[in-house]
C-alpha cells in the first residue's frame, strides 16, 4: 500500500510542516529500527523513551518524513511535521492510511477494570453463533472470524489496531468487539477510531503505578465516552458508583444495565452453583454455564449490546445459555478425588474479592477454601497488601507466591503482600516464591470436597522472571498434579 503524505494528513491538526508533502508513504513506523525510504516515522514520547532521540538513526536508515512535537534542526531534504501530540496524530493518520476501517465495521469497545475480556469474548461467541463474521481484539487473543492472531497488548498501538481492523474489513467482518484499556485511552492509541458503541463494566483499584491517582484513572476511562459520536451508544453498569460518571459529558445514546438498580437492562441472580448460574434478564429466566455475580454483570452487558444492535431477544438468550466460560476466567476443574480447582485471572483486589465471594456463596461450609495468589512485579505496589488481606479474610488457608515477578525480587513482592496480613490471620498463611510448589502444596493439603482458587494468571501461559518468559500454565499444571494424585 502506498499513499501520498499530503492525503493522509487531511484530517490531522498540524502546527507546522517543513519540507515537501508530496511524498510516497508505504508504511507507518514508531520503531526507529524498522524505517525505510518510504516510512513516515512518529517520534512518540513514552514512559520509558522519547522517540525524538532516535531521529538521527531514522534519517540514517533513509527515512525522509518525520512527525515531531518539537521542531528539529534537520536537513532541508527531510520533511518534518510539527504537531502538539505525535500520539494523537498517529491515530488519525493510521486511520486514514488504512482507509478508515473502523467506519466500515460495527466496532464495540469495552472498558473497565474487570470483565473486559469475558464481555468481548462472549460477544464474539454470541455474534458468531448468530451467523455474523466477527473480529475480536482482547488480552487473550485477537481473532478474525475463527483465525487466531497472537495478542501482545490489551489494546494494540494505533498502527497495529488500524491494520488489524482493515484486515477484518477486507475479510468481510461486520462486527468487532474490542477491549479498551485505560493505558490505550490515555496514550491516545484509539484516537481517530470510530466506535459504534462503548461499554463500561466497573472501576476499582488498579494501574495506579501508571495513573498515580484513582481520580486520574477514572478520568482516563471517561475520556473514551467523552469522545463518542452522537450516533453511538454508551452502555454503563449502573451498580458501579462511577457508572454514571462515564456518561456525564458524552454525546452518545445513554443506556444502563444493573442487578441492584432499575436499569434499561435489568438482571437478577436466582441461583448460583458450580454447575452454572440461573438469572432473569428483563424478566426472562435463563440458565448459563457461567458462574458468579460478576459473570451475571458480564452477561447483562452482552445482552444489552445485542439489543442496542437490534438482535432478537429470545435468540440471544438461547445462545447465551449455551456459551462456555472464557479461558482463565473462573475456569473450573475437578479431580477424581473430589477436589475443586478454580483458575482465575483475578489480579486486582476487587476481582479477587468477587471470585472469593462467589466461592463463599456456593460453598456448603463443610469444605476448606485454599487460595494461591501472588502479585506482579514492576506494577502497582499499593494493591499487594490489599490482595493478601482479602485472600485471608475470604479463605481458610492462603499460600502467597509469585505471579510474574518481572525484574523484582519475588520474595520482596511477597513481603509487601505479607504487610497486609493481620496478626490473627498469620497461622493460616504460607509463603513460597516457587509458584509450582505453591500449587502442589495446596493440592497436597486439600481433601475431598475442598475448593482451591489459583488466582492471578488465568489464561497466561508463561511466568516472567528477570526479563525471561518461562512456560507456565496454571490449568495444565493443576490437571497434571491432580492426575499424579491417582498414581
pLDDT tens-digit readout, 33-80: 999 999 999 999 876 788 999 999 999 999 999 999 999 999 889 999
- Candidate from 201-215, 219-233, 378-392 with smallest mean pLDDT: 201-215
Residue 295 has pLDDT above 80, yes or no: yes
pTM of the shown model: 0.85
Q: What is the mean pLDDT of the chain?
A: 93
At 222 the pLDDT is: 93
Q: In this model, does residue 154 exceed pLDDT 90?
A: no
Work out the pLDDT band at 10, boundaries 50, 70, 90: confident
Tens-digit pLDDT profile for residues 435-448: 999 999 999 999 99
CA angle 323, 324, 328 (to 5 degrees): 140
Please determine, for residue 207, whether its predicted confidence score (pLDDT) is greater than 50: no
Query: Which pLDDT band holds residue 151 (cuts at 50, 70, 90)?
Result: confident
pLDDT of residue 467: 87
Q: Which of 255-259, 353-357, 439-443 has the lowest mean pLDDT?
A: 353-357
pLDDT at 253: 98
Confidence band, pLDDT 50/70/90 cuts, at residue 413: very high
Find all residues with CB under 8 Å of 406, minimum gap 6, and list them. Answer: 376, 377, 378, 379, 464, 465, 466, 467
Percentage of residues of the chain with pLDDT beyond 70:
97
Domains of the chain as residue ranges with CATH? 3-86 (3.40.1390.10), 101-320 (3.40.1190.10), 331-484 (3.90.190.20)
Residue 139 phi/psi, 5-degree rounding, is -60, -40
Does residue 211 have a pLDDT over 50?
no
Q: What is the DSSP string of 304-340?
A: HHHHHTT--HHHHHHHHTTPPPPTTSSEEEE-TTS-E
Residues 83, 69 contacting (CB under 8 angstroms) = yes
pLDDT classification of 212: cutoffs 50, 70, 90: low
- The dihedral over CA atoms of 303, 305, 306, 308, expressed in degrees to the nearest 10, equals 120
Position 183 scores a pLDDT of 85
Of 22 and 208, the structure prediction assigns the larger pLDDT to 22
Amino acid at each position: 500500500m502506498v499513499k501520498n503524505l499530503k492525503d493522509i494528513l487531511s484530517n490531522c491538526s498540524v502546527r507546522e510542516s517543513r519540507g515537501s508533502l508530496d511524498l510516497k508513504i508505504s508504511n507507518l513506523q514508531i520503531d526507529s529500527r524498522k524505517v525505510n525510504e518510504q516510512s513516515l516515522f512518529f517520534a512518540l514520547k513514552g514512559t520509558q523513551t522519547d522517540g525524538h532521540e532516535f531521529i538521527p538513526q531514522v534519517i540514517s536508515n533513509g527515512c525522509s518524513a518525520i512527525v515531531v512535537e518539537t521542531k528539529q534542526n534537520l536537513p532541508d531534504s527531510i520533511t518534518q511535521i510539527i504537531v502538539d501530540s505525535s500520539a494523537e496524530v498517529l491515530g488519525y493518520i493510521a486511520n486514514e492510511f488504512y482507509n478508515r476501517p473502523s467506519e466500515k465495521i460495527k466496532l464495540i469497545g469495552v472498558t473497565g477494570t474487570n470483565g473486559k475480556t469475558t464481555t468481548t469474548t462472549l460477544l464474539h461467541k454470541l455474534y458468531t453463533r448468530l451467523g455474523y463474521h466477527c473480529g475480536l481484539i482482547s488480552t487473550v487473543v485477537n481473532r478474525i472470524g475463527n483465525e487466531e492472531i497472537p495478542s501482545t497488548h490489551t489494546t494494540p498501538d494505533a498502527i497495529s489496531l488500524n491494520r488489524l481492523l482493515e484486515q477484518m474489513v477486507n475479510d468481510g467482518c461486520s462486527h468487532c468487539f474490542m477491549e479498551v484499556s485505560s493505558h490505550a485511552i490515555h496514550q491516545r492509541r484509539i484516537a481517530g477510531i470510530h466506535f459504534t458503541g462503548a461499554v463500561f463494566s466497573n472501576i476499582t483499584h488498579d494501574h495506579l503505578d501508571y495513573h498515580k491517582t484513582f481520580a486520574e484513572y477514572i478520568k482516563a476511562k471517561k475520556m473514551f465516552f467523552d469522545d463518542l459520536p452522537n450516533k453511538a451508544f454508551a452502555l454503563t453498569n449502573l451498580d458501579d458508583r462511577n457508572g454514571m460518571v462515564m456518561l456525564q459529558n458524552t454525546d452518545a445514546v445513554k443506556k444502563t444495565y444493573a442487578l441492584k438498580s432499575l436499569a434499561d437492562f435489568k438482571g437478577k441472580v436466582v441461583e448460583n452453583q458450580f454447575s452454572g448460574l440461573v438469572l432473569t434478564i428483563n424478566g426472562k429466566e435463563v440458565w448459563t454455564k457461567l458462574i458468579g455475580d460478576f459473570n451475571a454483570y458480564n452477561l447483562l452487558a452482552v445482552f444489552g449490546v445485542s439489543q442496542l444492535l437490534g438482535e432478537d431477544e429470545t435468540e440471544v438468550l438461547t445462545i447465551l445459555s449455551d456459551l462456555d466460560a472464557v479461558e482463565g476466567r473462573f475456569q473450573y476443574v475437578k479431580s477424581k478425588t473430589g477436589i475443586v480447582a478454580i483458575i482465575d485471572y483475578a489480579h486486582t483486589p476487587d476481582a479477587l474479592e468477587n471470585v472469593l465471594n462467589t466461592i463463599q456463596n456456593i460453598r456448603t461450609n463443610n469444605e476448606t477454601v485454599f487460595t494461591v495468589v501472588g502479585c506482579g512485579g514492576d506494577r502497582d505496589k499499593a494493591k499487594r497488601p490489599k490482595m493478601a488481606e482479602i485472600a485471608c479474610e475470604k479463605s481458610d488457608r492462603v499460600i502467597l507466591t509469585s505471579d510474574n515477578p518481572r525484574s523484582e525480587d519475588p520474595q520482596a513482592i511477597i513481603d509487601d503482600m505479607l504487610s497486609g496480613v493481620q496478626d490473627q490471620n498469620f497461622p493460616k498463611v504460607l509463603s513460597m516464591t516457587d509458584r509450582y510448589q505453591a500449587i502442589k502444596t495446596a493440592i497436597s493439603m486439600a481433601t475431598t470436597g475442598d475448593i482451591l482458587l489459583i488466582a492471578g494468571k488465568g489464561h497466561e501461559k508463561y511466568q516472567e522472571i528477570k526479563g525471561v518468559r518461562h512456560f507456565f500454565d496454571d490449568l495444565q499444571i493443576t490437571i497434571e498434579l491432580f492426575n499424579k494424585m491417582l498414581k
